[in-house]
Amino acid sequence: MKTNLKTNLIKKKYSAEARAHVLKAFAHPARLTMVEALMEGSRCVCELQELVGSDMSTISRHLSVLRNAGVVIGEKRGTQIHYRLTCSCIADFLVCVNQLCFDRLENEAARMRGFRG
Amino acid sequence: MKTNLKTNLIKKKYSAEARAHVLKAFAHPARLTMVEALMEGSRCVCELQELVGSDMSTISRHLSVLRNAGVVIGEKRGTQIHYRLTCSCIADFLVCVNQLCFDRLENEAARMRGFRG
DNA sequence: TGCTTATTTGGCTATATTGCAAAATAGATT
DNA sequence: AATCTATTTTGCAATATAGCCAAATAAGCA
């Protein structure tokens, strides 16, 4: 039943476009890196820049993508703007992505072994 | 501790590029629609085409994106190729995306109310 | 008020993604 | 072998995204 509820929620309540939009926000190495940092607590833009290493304007653009998708939210603290995640479920979410990566590597490794021996 | 393990796994084991690549595979309305259909069981390419309504070549391209990201896997059954998800965690994953969508709508609604009254 | 610092936005070019139509494959079927 | 059928790949035009520089804001401070 639980799964059914979930499935229902997923399938009926919001459009695929809306969900794809959110997913797209995560789907960039720099943005993902920032999100992962934010999983540990809020960070100001300058910290995120240092972490990612791109131009400040690029960082800001990425943050606006995340903001628009409702993934992060920023608030002033003195002279800086500190960003944080809007939702704690994001961590679990990324664990699954990681699982997929892992499986993919495993499969590739297995295929390699197959080719050689 | 559990969270720490998770976090560790996410942060150290695979590159942000690899994870972003997987996420990108989900980040398209047509692909998301197909993935959601596959959550209920395997489907052949023609069924997915009917569901999404695009050109067959487009569907096939989308499937190759999902295949490359390790999200789906296809196997022959008679004359058709049936696709299925590689990982059951995907459902939970999408629940979180949905949650984000929901929150975003809520916030927007709240903001609208704020503007008016 | 004018200066400084932190962040965002506009303009631009380079690159990537999308989707259709046509051609190519790969297997099953006759 | 010839032919269907289901699917994938290629070529190409349209659109979207990324990233850098320079310019614009915005808020705190001299």
In tens, the pLDDT along A20-67 reads 999 999 999 999 999 999 999 999 999 999 999 999 999 999 999 999
The whole-angstrom separation of Cα A101 and Cα B18 is 7
Q: A90 falls in which pLDDT band (50, 70, 90)?
A: confident
Place of tokens 């892992």: A102
Please say whether the beta carbons of A63 and A74 come within 8 A.
yes
The whole-angstrom separation of Cα A81 and Cα A77 is 6
Q: Please identify residues in chain B, positions 8-37, with a C-beta within 7 angstroms of any atom of strand C.
A: 24, 27-28, 30
In whole numbers, what is the pLDDT of chain B averaged over residues?
Answer: 82
Closest C-alpha among B96, B44, B73, B82 to residue A106:
B73
Would the pLDDT of B117 be above 70?
no
More confident residue, A103 or A34: A34
More confident residue, B75 or A92: B75
Are A98 and B29 a contacting pair at CB < 8 A? no
| Three-point CA angle B41, B93, B8, nearest 5° | 130
Residue type, B8: N
Edge-to-edge strands of the sheet including A72-77? A43-44, A80-85, A72-77
Per-residue model confidence (pLDDT) at position A58: 98
Per-residue model confidence (pLDDT) at position A14: 57
How buried is A94 (Cβ within 10 angstroms: 0-12 exposed, 13-18 middle, 19+ buried)? buried
Please say whether the beta carbons of B97 and A22 come within 8 A.
yes
Q: B93 falls in which pLDDT band (50, 70, 90)?
A: confident
Per-residue model confidence (pLDDT) at position B10: 37
Contacts of A39 in chain B (CB under 8 A): 7, 10
In whole numbers, what is the pLDDT of chain A averaged over residues?
Answer: 82
Please name the residue ranges forming H helices in chain B: 2-8, 16-26, 29-38, 45-52, 56-68, 90-116
Work out whether strand A43-44 and strand B43-44 pair parallel, antiparallel, or are unpaired.
Answer: unpaired
Q: A114 falls in which pLDDT band (50, 70, 90)?
A: low
Q: What value does the mean pLDDT take over residues B96-102?
A: 75
* A75 strand-pairing partners: A82
More confident residue, B102 or B44: B44
Percent of chain A having pLDDT more than 90?
56
Distance from CA of B63 to the nearest CA of A (A): 16
Q: B102 falls in which pLDDT band (50, 70, 90)?
A: confident
Per-residue model confidence (pLDDT) at position B54: 96
Per-residue model confidence (pLDDT) at position A72: 95
The whole-angstrom separation of Cα B35 and Cα A116 is 33
What is the spatial distance, in angstroms and rounded to an integer, between the CA atom of B84 and the C1' atom of D18? 33
Please say whether the beta carbons of B59 and B49 come within 8 A.
yes
Cα distance from N-terminal residue to C-terminal residue, chain B: 46
Question: pTM for the whole thing?
Answer: 0.83
Would the pLDDT of B8 be above 80?
no
Per-residue model confidence (pLDDT) at position B59: 98
Contact of B44 with chain A, judged by CB distance below 8 Å, is answered with: no
Per-residue model confidence (pLDDT) at position A111: 63
With CA atoms as reference, the chain B residue closest to A16 would be B29
